[in-house]
Amino acid sequence: MNLIIDVGNSIVKLAVFKQEKIILKNKISLQDLQNEIYDITKEFKNIEKAIISSVGNLKKSDLNFIEKYFKTLVLDTSTKVPFQNLYKSPKTLGVDRIALVSASVKNYYKQNVLIIDAGTCITYDFISYENKYLGGAISPGIRARYQSLNNLTANLPLLETKTPHNFIGNSTTESIHSGIINGILNEIEGTISEYDKNYKDLTVILTGGDADFLSKQLKSSIFANSNFLLEGLNYILEFNTN
């Protein structure tokens, strides 16, 4: 069994894999990491390996605690991956994007795949049927757009995410919802369309915290998978230990 640890800025996602199946998945605060790891060691005696993906601030003490219990791989840009990386600045490629591309190799090998991760940022990552990662795009996520309107203007309110009632907003509140949500939907649809023009038999994966919200409103054919990043991390761990 493998332990997967995905560390964000304040939230940590943990998963226990038995071969390719998730048998435990939790979301905790960074402050609770060591206690949660300890509880997992008590519940699952057969975990031997762990992988850590961190885009947040993982403390050295937390890393030492994890390494005390498991043979641990810390994912970074030097880690062996199952694809050819053609990114021009590979050392700046986020570990979350590396994991997502690896998941596409595992699940859609020798296919043209566009992975859309809708979270704090919306990232687009493309890997060709030749197993070559070409890059993609990064734009602000849903909450970042709501917050920026509030932070960078004097009078616009900070709203909770909501599907707009009408395309034409008939109030400031509805105009904000329409601008942000329809703007993102059109961005995603437009991006998919551009890739579809240039690459045959395109497979599109939508993942991330806002995937469920967005998938219900998109017209393009997509596969929504909220566990895609965790699956990619598990595959990288196996790829580096087998």
Residues with a catalytic annotation lie at 96
- For residues 99 and 5, give the distance between their C-alpha atoms in angstroms, rounded to a whole number: 12
Q: How many residues does the chain have?
A: 242
How far lies 92's CA from each of 78, 135, 221, in Å? 11, 12, 31
- For residues 177 and 223, give the distance between their C-alpha atoms in angstroms, rounded to a whole number: 25
- For residues 88 and 140, give the distance between their C-alpha atoms in angstroms, rounded to a whole number: 22
- For residues 67 and 2, give the distance between their C-alpha atoms in angstroms, rounded to a whole number: 13
Handedness of CA 62, 68, 70, 72 (dihedral sign): positive
**Token code pair at residue 192:** 């998919």
